[in-house]
Amino acid sequence: MELRHLQYFKTVAEQLHFRKAAASLFISQPPLSRQIKELEEELGVQLFLRNNKRVILTDAGKYFKQEVDAIFARLEESKNMTRQIHLGESGELAIGYISSLYQPHLAVVLKAMREAFPYIKTSLYERPTIKQIESLEQGTLDVGILRAPVHSDKLQLQTLFFDPFMVVMSNQYKKVNNTEELALVIKDKPFIFYNKEYAPHYNDKLIEICNRMGFKPDIVHEANNVNSILQLVEAGLGVSILPLSLRQQYDYLKLSFIELADIPVSTEVVLAYKKSNRNLALKWFIDNYNKRI
């Protein structure tokens, strides 16, 4: 029994018409009938009942079709996995990340990846969590670095770290000694923050932190990336509350970063990817990014 016998049987079983099946296989009808006859003789069963008007599958034929369909499905899956392994060695790894991420960690990992996979191309896409989840599910991203919660049963998650928050203010404000003094300074100030539709979870965290400090924030300016937020704060247009991990990345700005050590609110930073993605470079990236955090 050869693979072509199974392909011929599968086509006839789907068409239930020898002439049409032969045409779709680009062969003439007599050789097709002969191949099916050889298959039936090898199996010792009759797969089709045929007369001048119709062709139908026998019960044995129906069972065999299910098995043959499974064989071809498994073969196609194996072909796809083989391509993925090849692409993992010489293709592309598409990485999503959020703007509120300390990026030197990512740069170090990508530099090491160049040595491990010299022929792979890495593409970086700065996207908010919501957009990353969508792209990961659709397969246009291989891996995402984003903030929980991630509401998707299609994705595998790995916790990287928990990121507390800090208040960010222009240097023009006086130094404060505790959270109570800080609350008095910022409660009447305009707040600069992410758009609620762009980062709903972040917005909820901001409200929670301000509530714990005893006031409701007046969000006057909104932006869709951390660079814009910090530039507005540095210009004296308001204050913001952002993840503490950003302090190391933006300590060159003329800003005051005040950790909210006694307010137990944080965000979880995670890696997200599809379980079915067999890209070897993806596995390497996941293992090594975790080691760098």
Cβ-contact 193, 162 below 8 angstroms: no
- Identify whether 190 is preceded by a cis peptide bond (ω within 30 of 0): no
Q: Is pLDDT of 174 > 90? A: no
* pLDDT tens readout for residues 25-69: 899 989 888 989 998 999 999 999 887 778 999 999 999 999 999
Question: Which residues partner with 93 through β-bridges?
Answer: 122
> What confidence tier does 237 reach under pLDDT thresholds 50, 70, 90?
very high
CATH number of 91-160+268-292: 3.40.190.10
> Of 224 and 239, which is predicted with more confidence?
239
Please, which pLDDT band fits residue 165 given cuts at 50, 70 and 90?
A: very high
Sequence ranges of the chain with CATH classification 3.40.190.10: 91-160+268-292
Region 205-233: mean pLDDT is 92
CATH architecture of 3-88: Orthogonal Bundle (1.10)
Average pLDDT value for the chain: 88
Q: What is the mean pLDDT of the segment spanning 137-151?
A: 92
- Go through the chain and tell me how many residues it has: 293
- Band of pLDDT at residue 92, cut at 50, 70 and 90: confident
In this predicted model, what pLDDT tens digit does every residue of 241-293 receive, in sequence order? Answer: 999 988 888 888 889 999 998 899 999 999 999 988 878 889 899 999 877 66
List CB contacts of 156: < 8 A, sequence separation 6 or more.
Answer: 272, 273, 274, 275
According to the model, what pLDDT value does residue 258 have? 93
SS3 sequence, the chain? CCHHHHHHHHHHHHHCCHHHHHHHHCCCHHHHHHHHHHHHHHHCCCCEEECCCCEEECHHHHHHHHHHHHHHHHHHHHHHHHHHHHHHHHCEEEEEECCCCCCHHHHHHHHHHHHHCCCCEEEEEECCHHHHHHHHHHCCCCEEEEECCCCCCCEEEEEEEEEEEEEEEECCCCCCCCHHHHHHHHCCCEEEEECCCCCHHHHHHHHHHHHHCCCCCEEEEEECCHHHHHHHHHCCCCEEEEEHHHCCCCCCCCEEEEECCCCCCEEEEEEEEECCCCCHHHHHHHHHHHHHC
Residue 166: its pLDDT value, please?
Answer: 95
Answer yes or no: pTM beyond 0.75: no
Residues of the chain with CATH 1.10.10.10: 3-88
Report pLDDT for 46: 93
Architecture of domain 162-266: 3-Layer(aba) Sandwich (3.40)
First to last CA, the chain: 55
pLDDT value at residue 292: 63
Q: pLDDT over 90 for what percent of the chain?
A: 47
CATH 3.40.190.290-classified regions of the chain:
162-266
Per-residue model confidence as pLDDT tens digits over 69-89: 999 988 887 787 676 666 555
Phi and psi at residue 218, to the nearest 5° = -100, 95
